[in-house]
Amino acid sequence: MRIYVCVKHVPDTAANIKIVGDDAYDTQVKYVANPYDEYGVEEAVTLVEKAKEGEVVAVCVGNKGAANTLKSVMAMGVHRSILVKTDDQFPGSDLTAKALAKAITDDGNADLIFMGKQSVDSEGMQTPYRLGMELSLPVVTGVVSFSHEGDTAKVQREIDGGARETLAVKTPCILGATKGLNEPRFPKLPAILKAKKKEIKEVELSSLGLVDQGHCRIKSLEPVQERSNAKILEGSTQEIVAALVKILREEEKVI
């Protein structure tokens, strides 16, 4: 069994991001593996460990710094990695999917492909579906439960209103993991040291012969405006309603 896990190199969600120019941000911050992708890594590694056979391969499209992110997931149990190198801070999801697909097909045949349901930086939520199109594979995202038997994967996914639906999917398939699927492990020192010796195959994006059609590009980035502190209105019901209407009219200017 060979399982591929698509991993994105993203800024830590606790980092203080500063906008640079119109469509970029300061890269001098801590980077980590996309948290949603870590659920996919854990599921893939656990599956191979239980089967006592197989291989987990991480694939990433990113800059040279992404090698550190790949080392972190290899410390979780991934056997080897492929890094498709690009200096583009926001490669489009169409180009990213094409690069992931080319890297996977050039490497071998996938029995399963895991990834996160979305990335925490651009949050486009398009890559799983575009990758499925490139590889002609079924896609399920928001996966919170997974089991595998023969050539069928049985999954539960989150849908609107907190409900869940259960699906049976023929493998190979692409599964977008989310919180609740498992609890990603924290690698111990021996695993971290061992990961430093594992293979990271580097491939230049430009060498893959892909055409960037540029269907979707980030035009501009703006920081989220800080919200004012919450106010607690006190008094009788009539007094509270009168105060609320005044705030909505004079401060928020929505009525």
Return the pLDDT at 229: 74
Could you tell me if residue 164 is inside a domain?
A: yes
Could you tell me if residue 74 is inside a domain?
A: yes
For residue 150, the enclosing domain spans 2-208
Eight-state DSSP code of residue 209: T
Return the pLDDT at 50: 95
Return the pLDDT at 205: 95
Which helix or strand (DSSP H or E) is residue 90 part of? none
Same domain, yes or no: 204 and 253:
no
Q: Show pLDDT as tens, one digit a residue, over the chain (255 residues).
A: 999 999 999 999 998 888 888 888 888 899 999 999 999 999 999 999 999 999 999 999 999 999 999 999 999 999 999 999 999 888 889 999 999 999 999 999 999 999 999 999 888 899 999 999 999 999 999 999 999 989 999 999 998 888 999 999 999 999 999 999 999 999 999 999 999 999 999 999 999 988 777 677 788 888 877 776 788 899 999 999 999 999 888 888 888
Angle (CA) 99-111-141 rounded to 5° is 70
Q: Which residues pair with 139 in a beta bridge?
A: 174
CATH number of the domain residue 141 falls in:
3.40.50.620
Same domain, yes or no: 68 and 172:
yes
* Cα(137)–Cα(36) distance, integer angstroms: 21
Encode burial over 131-169: b for 16+ CB neighbours within 10 A, e otherwise: bbebbebebbbbbbebebeeeebebbbbeeeeeeeeeeb
Could you tell me if residue 6 is inside a domain?
A: yes
Handedness of CA 119, 125, 128, 134 (dihedral sign): negative
Same domain, yes or no: 94 and 199:
yes
Return the pLDDT at 27: 86
Could you tell me if residue 217 is inside a domain?
A: no
Among 66, 91, 79, residue whose Cα is nearest residue 202: 66
Same domain, yes or no: 124 and 166:
yes
Among 238, 205, 231, 188, residue whose Cα is nearest residue 72: 188
Same domain, yes or no: 190 and 248:
no
Same domain, yes or no: 51 and 114:
yes
Cβ proximity of 43 and 146 under 8 Å: yes
Return the pLDDT at 32: 96
Same domain, yes or no: 233 and 145:
no
Same domain, yes or no: 190 and 243:
no
Return the pLDDT at 26: 86
Q: Is 180 exposed, middle or buried (0-12, 13-18, 19+ CB in 10 A)?
A: middle
Q: Which residue bears the tokens 């996160």?
A: 116
Residue 35: asked if its preceding bond is cis (omega within 30°), the reply is no
Same domain, yes or no: 48 and 147:
yes
How many structural domains comprise the chain?
2
Same domain, yes or no: 198 and 235:
no
Same domain, yes or no: 101 and 170:
yes
For residue 123, give every residue at least 6 positions away whose Cβ sits within 8 Å of its Cβ, in sequence order, or none.
Answer: none
* Cα(55)–Cα(43) distance, integer angstroms: 13
Return the pLDDT at 142: 95
Could you tell me if residue 215 is inside a domain?
A: no
* Cα(10)–Cα(29) distance, integer angstroms: 10
Same domain, yes or no: 201 and 242:
no
* Cα(74)–Cα(95) distance, integer angstroms: 25
Mind giving me the DSSP string for 176-225?
A: EE-TTS-------HHHHHHHTTS-EEEEEGGGGT-----SS------PPP
Residues in the chain: 255
